[in-house]
Amino acid sequence: MNYIEHKGLSYSRIKSLTHIGDRIDSKGMSIGSCVDLMLTDSDYLDKIHVTDLDELTPQQEKFINEVHRLSEEPDDITYLQAFTNLKIKRGKLEDLVTTLRNTNYFEYLKQRSLKDKIILSTDDFNRALFAVNKIKLSRYYWYFTKGILQPEYYTDFSKIKPDIVIEDDDSIEPIDLKTMEGYVANFPGDFIRFGYNIQSRYYTRVLQELYPDKVIKPFKFLVVSTTKNDDVLEFIDDTDPTEVDLVIDKAIEMHSYCVDNSLEVNRIAYFKHKYDSIPLSELL
């Protein structure tokens, strides 16, 4: 069973349905995913691509794509043909060709084809490596050597994928790795800000449903900074789940309604179909 394709409700979907928790920027997500891979996947080098190419504008990318469509070894005639095909103003041609020549063309084409890889700059890759080395030197690294790495759990309506699970005959301990900028002492604020309390509670609920005869230990986060040379933090969620349960229950109701009515699972579809209107807040 493919985790991505499974239609069950995930933690990220709960956040998108309820608008609870800030979003992590794409660079932070890429660095965090890279750290996860380097610690849990022996083939991680096949899934990461490091490049220092600057991001291209939409017009530059369109021009390069057209050049590549015409020829894998472009020359001045190819550039002119691409320029003509796209009906770009003539004054732009010299700038576009200069951009193309200053770009590592074949590196760009390689990067463009890496749809399933994590693409990082050299600096960001080094930040990920810095975090990984801190974890390997910490007293918590044993979790990665003894635990079950990135197990997938499914019910009929839900899915979860913790980074690590420590399981024995009587108990299950879910663990998730978090990366952050700055000092890990600031993580308790991020715990609420990014909605990690929702992840903790939702994973615990799913595991309790799947394993009613086992003790589900408090959800644990291992937190490592990618920018500061401080220790790895072990953070255990001991918060009251009452309010978080209300958020999760609302997300379950919205998700179930969309699925039962063959709708796309999102807030707009839910409000439009159920209430025949879309709140102004959804349009801003």
Would the pLDDT of 172 be above 80?
A: yes
Residue 284, pLDDT score = 46
Q: What is the pLDDT of residues 98-122, one digit of tens each?
A: 766 666 655 666 665 666 788 788 8
Residue 75, pLDDT score = 80
**What pLDDT band is residue 43 in, cutting at 50, 70 and 90?**
confident
Concatenating the DSSP letter of every residue in the chain gives: --TTT--SB-HHHHHHHHT-SPPPPHHHHHHHHHHHHHHH-TTGGGGEEE--PPPPPHHHHHHHHHHHHH-SS--HHHHHHHHHHTT--GGGHHHHHHHHHHS-HHHHHHHHT-TTSEEE-HHHHHHHHHHHHHHHTSTTTHHHHHSEES--EE-SSBEE--SEEEE-SSEEEEEEEEEESS-GGGHHHHHHHTTHHHHHHHHHHHHHHH-TTSEEPPPEEEEEESSS--PPEEEE-----HHHHHHHHHHHHHHHHHHHTT--SSHHHHHHHHHSS--HHHH-
pTM of the model: 0.79
Residue 162, pLDDT score = 96
Residue 223, pLDDT score = 98
Percent of the chain with pLDDT over 90: 56
Residue 176, pLDDT score = 97
